[in-house]
Amino acid sequence: MSLLAFYARNSQEVVGLLWQHVYLVLISTGVAILIGVPLGIALTRRPGWRGPVLGLANIFQTIPSLALFGFLIPLPFLGGIGARTAIVALVLYALLPIVRNTYTGIAGVDPAVREAGRGMGMTDGQLLRLVELPLGLGVILAGVRVATVIGVGTATIAAAIGAGGLGVYIFRGVATVDNTLILAGALPAALMAIAADGLLGVAERRLGWRRT
């Protein structure tokens, strides 16, 4: 059976899984931004936290994703079967690039510019809002882009704990040794990753400030 014929026959299910996949990635990346950007900013204010926080985020990154999903299942509140557990795991994966790039983006602002801002009477909040975040935005968005692309890929494994998404076809295809089925899940996931990469790349170039 060809891929197109498969999609034609299962169009409703395909759209549903596609939407589930987008939902998993959007929510988890969104939550990771809400946690990661303030955390990255905090690291620039408290250099002592940098080692422990980035180290911890690094450790999450090294846990194989399937194992992390497994570890989370027995946990109360965060765990269990379904989308919630998958989102927790995806947030943990997305944190490192976002925290690290927020820190790097802000720490990379020219010290002379920062000193001029402080010397002219900006409060710490004004310095952050008017100078450090705008100048670091390109690097921060690059972190979000990496996190999103990783998220699209990792979210395929979320099907293993019943969170749905395009991984459903991949797991089903692997179980039944059906390459068409595997492709039915893998191809849109790959296209989604490319699209996210492209879109966020455009945002990065337009919003990020660069010396020309």
Partner 1 sequence: MSAALEVRDLGFELPGKGEGGRGRRLVEGVSFTVGKGETLVLLGRSGSGKTTTLKLINRLLEPTAGEVLVAGQRASDLDATRLRRRIGYVIQEIGLFPHFAVERNIGLVPSLEGWPPARIADRVREMLALVGLDADTFGARYPHELSGGQRQRVGVARALAADPPLLLLDEPFGALDPITRVELQREFRALESRLGKGMVFVTHDVREGLLLGTRIGLMHEGRLVFVGTPEEFRQSEHPEVRAFMAAA
> What are the residues binding partner 1 (CB under 8 A)?
110, 112-123, 126, 130-131, 134-135, 209, 211-212
Q: How far is the CB of 109 from partner 1 (least distance, A)?
A: 9
Nearest approach, Cβ of residue 199 and partner 1 (Å): 23
Sign of CA dihedral 193, 196, 199, 203: negative
Query: Based on the number of CB atoms within 10 Å of its own CB, is 206 exposed (0-12), middle (13-18) or buried (19 or more)?
Result: exposed
Closest CB to partner 1 among 62 and 211? 211
**Nearest CB to partner 1, comparing residues 74 and 210:** 210
Q: Is the dihedral of CA 24, 195, 205, 99 positive or negative?
A: positive
Is the CB of 9 or the CB of 129 nearer to partner 1? 129
**Closest CB to partner 1 among 10 and 126?**
126
* Closest distance to partner 1 from the beta carbon of 98 (Å): 22
3-state helix, strand, coil in the chain (%, to 5): 85, 0, 15
198 phi and psi, to 5 degrees? -65, -50
